[in-house]
Each structure stands twice: as C-alpha cells, then as structure tokens.
Amino acid sequence: MGSEVPPVYIGLKGIYVAKTSLSYIDGERGKLIYRGYSIEDLAEHSTFEEITYLLWFGKLPNKRELSEFKENLASEREIPDEVISIISKLPRNAHPMDILKTGVASLGPFDPDLPSIWGQHIHEKRAENLKIAMRILSKMPTIMAYFYRMKENKDIVHPRKDLNHAANFLYMMWGREPNDLEAKLMDVALILHADHGFNASTFACLVTASTLSDLYSAIVSGISALKGPLHGGANEQALRMLMEIGSPDNAREYVKGKLERKERIMGFGHRVYKAYDPRARILKKYAEMLAKETKQEKLFNTALEVEKVMIELLGRKGIFPNVDFYSGQVYHMLGIPTEIFTPIFAISRASGWIGHVLEYWEQNVLIRPRALYIGPMEAKYIPIENRI
C-alpha cells in the first residue's frame, strides 16, 4: 500500500451508491416523498396498489391502468400446492421471517417465466420481470397468512379477488372480512412502509440483483436483511415497552430511568430523520381512531405520555418518534400477533424493493466495493509441526 490511506466509510454512511427517482427523504425537515408526491397526500387519498404502480411505472395510473393492475395482482394471490406443503412442514416455532424467506425462495422454481429469461440479459426482460414482480408481491401475504393459520391450528383461508391487497391479507389472517377502518388502516400502513430510500434491505436486494440474479433471489436477500433487529423489528420492541410501562402515570419515571441508565427508548430517533418522522405523525392519527374503536385508549395514552416526555428531554437533539413507535400499536389494536409485525413490513417493502431493482437494472453495474486491507503483508508460512 502507498503512504496515502484512502478514506473508509464503514457502513457506507452518507455515501451515494446509485441514483433513484423512487423516493426522497428530507431528514432535517421530516419529509418523505414517493416520485414527487408527499407521503401525507398519498396516505390520505391513495391505495397500496396505486402506490405500487407509481413506484414501478413512474406515474399515477388512470382508472383503466389501475383496474387492470389490481386485477393482475389479485389473480396471482394463490400459491402452488407444493409451496403450501413446504410451509406446512416448517417448524411452528420458526421465525416468521424465515417462513417468508423460505416461501418466496420456494416460489421461484414454479414460476413459468423464470426459465425463459434466465441468463446474462435477464435485466432487459422488463415485461417478464413485471409478471414475476406481480406474483411475488401478491403471494407474500398469502405465504404469511397461511403459515399463521397453520400455526394456530386453523384451516387456511384462501385469497379473494374482490378485496384489495390490504383487506385480503386481513381476511386471510382472520377468516372474516375487515371493516372499513381496519382495511383503511392496513392499507395506510402498507403505503407508509412501501419505500424508504436506500435502507439496508433495499441495498441488499440491489447487491444481489446487480449480479443479474433473478428477482426472487433479490427479494430473499431483502427479507434476510430486514430480519435483523437493527432494521426490522423495532415496532415489536416499542410495543413491548409500552406494555411494560402499563399506564400513562408510569411513563415519566420509566423514560427517565432508561435514559439515566443509557438505555434506548424504542421507537425514537432515526438514522435519517432529525425531525418528527412523517409516517409516525400519520399513524398517530389513525392509532387514536383505532384506540377509541377497540377500547384501547390506555395503550394510546401511554404512548402519548412517553412521546411528551421524550420530546421534552431529547427533542432538542433531534430525537422524535419514528414510524415504529406507532405501527406496533396499530397492528396490536388490529389483533395482529407481534411476531407478524416484521413480515408485514416485508410484505409492504417488497413494493419498493422491486421498484428499485427494476430501476437499477436499467443501467446495471455490478456492485463490488473494496475493503481497505489492514492485515500483515509479509507473513512467513510455518509448517504445522513447527507451530506452537
């Protein structure tokens, strides 16, 4: 090595590795946009299917385009019997993200379009890749709902084509059609998690896709990265914390005690946002509505008090609630088991993962960073009989 040591950015923090037009985060002002549209407008007026179309095609669909897109997605929800059999044989105590990962990986060999596009030009087959994308996105909720029903020793509930993506997922989980508020809340949650720049799981998808591997392999990489507790799973921990606090009256003492012990308050702070996470603000509004509907005001009020104390103590440092603080409450109030929280994240984020892969493939370059070697340079080999 020369005398000059190149800069090393461990974790690639602050490093631009590609260009994208899918989403933009203004962490200082607490803004999130999907292809130019504010997340507030999209959560209020749009649907997950429309958001997915926007991310994949670069524009909001007209009525005909959206209708066809929704029909195509709905027609792909069922999974092969062989994959159902595989899921049924997996341990009931397995991590749900491992179930989702295994299920998606198992879908690949049964995809009729995959063999025809395999090869060095796989990234140029956009029409075929879009068909595969629709299958992956449509089948991921089915995989998770089927496993949940099996785990609970209940008959699986097959998907319906007349329900939208969010409502159908809840229907397959519960065995009953959700009401309007439940369906809207799940739809909003999916919209809010659909994309978020070059996070760890999105980058993992792109690393795999850049080798010209297939879309199934890329999505499995994303699921694997999201399984890690430093990326997915924070909403589970935030909910457990609120349950542990138990009451608004206990919030201040609990928070102060945690901070004095240099422990984290889950659901606060963000790698990018230095202001209030806009997704948290949106979910907070719906969490309040759902708390009244389900008679769980105590949980919501406890969260409000934790937020109040945290902003009072750490708001000046740019630490505010993030999306995980309220998403866990929303899922819990909907009656969704805690272990399914992160899979729901993946079911939603698959929309963004796929959008980024399709975008990156337009000007594909193999992602191959370097590591700065800091080990010895002229070590002498010692025969094993002479080693101490």
Residues known to be catalytic: 270, 324
Which residues are CB-contacts of 284 (< 8 A; sequence separation ≥ 6)? 321, 326
Which pair of tokens denotes residue 77? 């929800």
Q: Give me the sheet containing 31-34, strands edge to edge.
A: 23-26, 31-34, 37-38
Radius of gyration, CA atoms only, the chain: 22
Which pair of tokens denotes residue 367? 């992602």
Which residues are CB-contacts of 127 (< 8 A; sequence separation ≥ 6)? none
For residue 41, the SS3 value is helix
Q: Which residue has the tokens 């608004």?
A: 248
SS3 content of the chain, % helix, strand, coil (to 5): 60, 5, 35
Q: Pick from 90, 91, 47, 95: which is nearest to 69 by CA?
A: 47
Q: Residue type at 222? A: G
- Strand pairing class (31-34; 23-26): antiparallel
Q: What is the largest CA-CA distance in the chain?
A: 77
Alpha carbon 194 to chain centroid, angstroms: 7
Q: What angle do CA 283, 285, 291 make, to 5 degrees?
A: 95
- CA end-to-end span of the chain, whole Å? 30
CA distances from 22 to 37, 57, 190 (A): 10, 10, 16
Angle (deg, nearest 10), helices 341-361 and 48-57: 20
Alpha carbon 358 to chain centroid, angstroms: 18
> Cα separation of 77 and 247, whole Å?
41
CB 359 within 8 A of CB 197: no
The DSSP element (H or E) to which 34 belongs, if any, is strand 31-34
